Amino acid sequence: MNKIITQSLVTVAMLSTLAVADEEVANEVVLSDVEAQYSAKSSVEATDELKQTINLGFSNTSGNTDTSNLNGKYTMAFTTVGYAEEKLKVGFDATAFVNKNDDVKSNEEYTANLGLEQYITNGRLGYTALNWLRNPDFKNVDNKISVGAGLGKEIYNDGQHTLKLKVGMAYNIEQYADATPEAKYTSVNEYIEYTNILNETSTLFLKVGAMQNIEDFENDYEILGVAGLNFSVAENISLTIEEEIRYDKIHPGTKESKDTKTIVRVGYNF
């Protein structure tokens, strides 16, 4: 019975992905990791044992235009002993996305994020992070590297509702796919996350991150928000539905300031 239910949910998830791709496949990319981009990578629940997750998604449409996209994500995290014998969380993820229209590659995106989170006391923590992004077609970014550090605090946690905040600074290097000169700048980064455990099998989450260039604070900034639901459909299988909105005040070589994405995917945890 469990096998039949799992297969049915997987089928629904794949059909949902097809519907999304049919509507806006030209613009859709793999969903961004807000926490990794604006603080440290730690969205996976880290334990003393290594935890890993692989997510795969594929959609294909045919007719007037043949389109296909493939996206994948790998995540790992674990906890070890750090400064003053307190917990040190280590997290890493990597994503890949490729989109084709009539056998011509129209979009691609690759990311990698490594983060360390050091617990201090009373819900306070310190973090360091290293992030890499490549998306030459959609974001005009040939390579973007960010190195950051900051502080965070779990503001509220009653076992069901959790609210945490992180603030830090990062040094950014952006190389563009067009003739725009390379940019190097320091930014202030903020991240806030709210999680609501609805029941034993489902979780609601909201994540918002922001970045401001300290050399042009009012005119060069970006805001990224993600809202979603995660359902456990079997012991090692989960279904996630997410919506993302990004606003980028100034980004060379792009036409629109706002991008939206919708992702439905099935995950395997091991």
Going along the chain from its start, the domains and CATH numbers come out as 2-269 (2.40.160.40)
What percent of the residues of the chain are helix, what percent strand, and what percent coil, each to the nearest 5? 10, 60, 25
Give the global pTM: 0.68
Token code pair at residue 119: 């617990």
Tell which wins on pLDDT, 100 or 143: 143
Contacts of residue 2, defined as CB under 8 A and 6 or more positions apart, other chains included, come to: 234
Residue 148's pLDDT is what?
A: 94
pLDDT per residue as tens digits for the range 162-216: 999 999 999 999 999 999 999 999 999 999 999 999 988 899 999 999 999 998 8
For the chain, percent of residues with pLDDT exceeding 70: 77
| Residue linked to tokens 């940019």 | 183
50: helix, coil or strand? coil
- How would DSSP label each residue in 204-244? EEEEEEEEEETTSTTTSEEEEEEEEEEEE-SSSEEEEEEEE
Residue 26's φ and ψ, nearest 5 degrees, are -70, -25
Question: Which DSSP letter does residue 48 get?
Answer: S
